Amino acid sequence: MQLEDKISILSGAAKYDVSCASSGSRRHNKGMGMGSASCAGICHSWSDDGRCISLLKILLTNRCMYDCAYCANRCSNPVPRAAFTPEEVVDLTVNFYKRNYIEGLFLSSGVERSPDYTMEQLVRVVRALRMQHEFHGYIHVKAIPGASETLIEDAGRYADRVSVNIELPSERSLNLLAPQKKRGDILMPMDFLGRHILANRDERTRSRRAPLFAPAGQSTQMVVSASPEPDCQILHLAESLYRRYRLKRVYYSAYVPVNEDARLPCVRQPELLREHRLYQADWLVRFYNFTAGELVDEAHPQLDRDVDPKSAWALNHFERFPIEVTTADYETLLRVPGLGVRSARRIIGTRRHAPLRFEDLPKIGVVMKRARYFLTCHGRFAEQTLQSPEMIRALLAPPKAPPDTGVQLSLFGEM
């Protein structure tokens, strides 16, 4: 088989893996070998679906012994199968990197023969890149559930990020849709990696020379809307993953129908808005000191689709507002819809040496679209009258589409 065809098959098979982050790791190049990893991450291109391409995202092989209902590569699917040799992957990575097409490699694989065999193949590629080619670029490698701990440890030693996919939000759904996979097999390497990463960070604080172990941490991914769990359950799961295994990221991927299967819901379009709201809530949990319980609970198991989770929270807790922008502390400012980490810091920095006025807020970069309803400055609102939460919600929610036609209106009239 030609290399072109392999690239087509094996990157086409890897495209449902969401993660393409290349951030969180800093590798300096001291003049030996090639490449470096930039802490902020660099995107190198954007594919036609608008997602960034920063890593060469491929499967080593799409031959797989599992039969998971939602997966394009399940063994019962009649798709063309292919496998790279480790040398081919190394050659592609190095040559793409030299031409600055990519920031590094994202390597995953279908499970062929056994988890151990597959994991060993993955480690071979990563080791060759780091040891033979002195490659200092970013490497993200999948840990295969069920593989031995020594192999996973090897992967962590060479890669920047290691990830295990949790696949689905609950054990029940996993048993139904991926009967050959066990929840315990997935959580075990996660726990192992979590403990190892923590121990390594500790070592690194004591000695700069301690070897790196997965410096960009571990992440995971789950498919949403393929199973009936509400947002409430998904967010609580994510929160506990962050807390227990210290994950860097949980990725959510809206289910894209690739297979006909009675166990799967019938969807025409992937639920992108749901995915978006989940990411917004995820950010609130990680960077804004929110707990999942504040955003969703038994009474409101789903996130609000019309307004973002922070606005929804603020409207449900309207008694806590307005916030006085000249005196509120950092944590309180962070809870105001429209204020982010940067705006909150700038507000605090600016009011330290000058009185803050409403007209200064847009100047220092605060987006007033949402914030104006929740802030006072020297006791005054930006608006003339204090509005009720219902009125504010109506202003913030997207205008309802005209119910009749269902045809997308064109901005430029009929062509």
Partner 1 sequence: MTAWEYDGTFEGLLTAFAAAIDMDAHPDDIAPEGAQLALSGAGLIAGDPARAERLVSLLRTRCAPLTLKHILYCFLSETSGYERTLLEYVRCALAHGKRVDTFHANDAVRAVHELSRKVSGEIHRLGGLVRFRELGDGTFWAPVEPDHNVVCGVALHFMRRLPNQEWIIYDMRRGYGVRWDTHECTPVTMNEELDARIRKEGVDTVDILSASEQKYQAYWRQYFEAISIGARTNPRLQRRNMPQRYWRYLVERPAGGAWRAGPRAVRGTHLSGRSPGCLRGTRERNLLYWKANTGATGGRE
Which of 286, 308, 280, 277 is closest to 371 using CA atoms? 308
Whichever of 138 and 290 has its CB closer to partner 1, that residue is 138
Whichever of 40 and 262 has its CB closer to partner 1, that residue is 40
For residues 237-264, b (16+ Cβ closer than 10 Å) or e, as one string? Answer: bbbebbeebbbbbbbbbbbbebeeeeeb
Whichever of 48 and 260 has its CB closer to partner 1, that residue is 48
Do the beta carbons of residue 232 and residue 238 sit within 8 Å?
A: no
Return all residues near 117 (Cβ < 8 A) that are at least 6 apart.
none
Which of 216, 242, 171 is closest to 37 using CA atoms? 216
Is the preceding peptide bond at 301 cis, omega within 30 degrees of 0? Answer: no
For residues 75-102, b (16+ Cβ closer than 10 Å) or e, as one string? Answer: eeeeeebbbbebebbbebbbebbeeeeb
CB of 141 to partner 1, least distance (A): 18
CB of 12 to partner 1, least distance (A): 4
Binding site for partner 1 (CB under 8 A): 3-4, 7-9, 11-12, 14-16, 28-29, 31-36, 38, 40, 42-54, 56-58, 92, 95-96, 98-101, 103, 256-257, 269-270, 272, 346, 349-350, 352-354, 356, 360, 363-365
What whole-number distance in Å separates Cα of residue 414 and Cα of residue 392?
34
What whole-number distance in Å separates Cα of residue 300 and Cα of residue 9?
42
Do the beta carbons of residue 163 and residue 57 sit within 8 Å?
A: no
Return all residues near 316 (Cβ < 8 A) that are at least 6 apart.
300, 389
What whole-number distance in Å separates Cα of residue 12 and Cα of residue 39?
28
CB of 276 to partner 1, least distance (A): 12
Whichever of 29 and 291 has its CB closer to partner 1, that residue is 29
Token digits for 187?
């959580």
Return all residues near 278 (Cβ < 8 A) that are at least 6 apart.
224, 231, 234, 235, 252, 303
Whichever of 62 and 218 has its CB closer to partner 1, that residue is 62
Strands in 375-377's sheet, in edge-to-edge order, are 323-324, 375-377, 380-381
The CA–CA distances, whole Å, from 383 to 318, 368, 375, 377, 386 equal 16, 11, 10, 11, 7
Token digits for 27?
């590798």
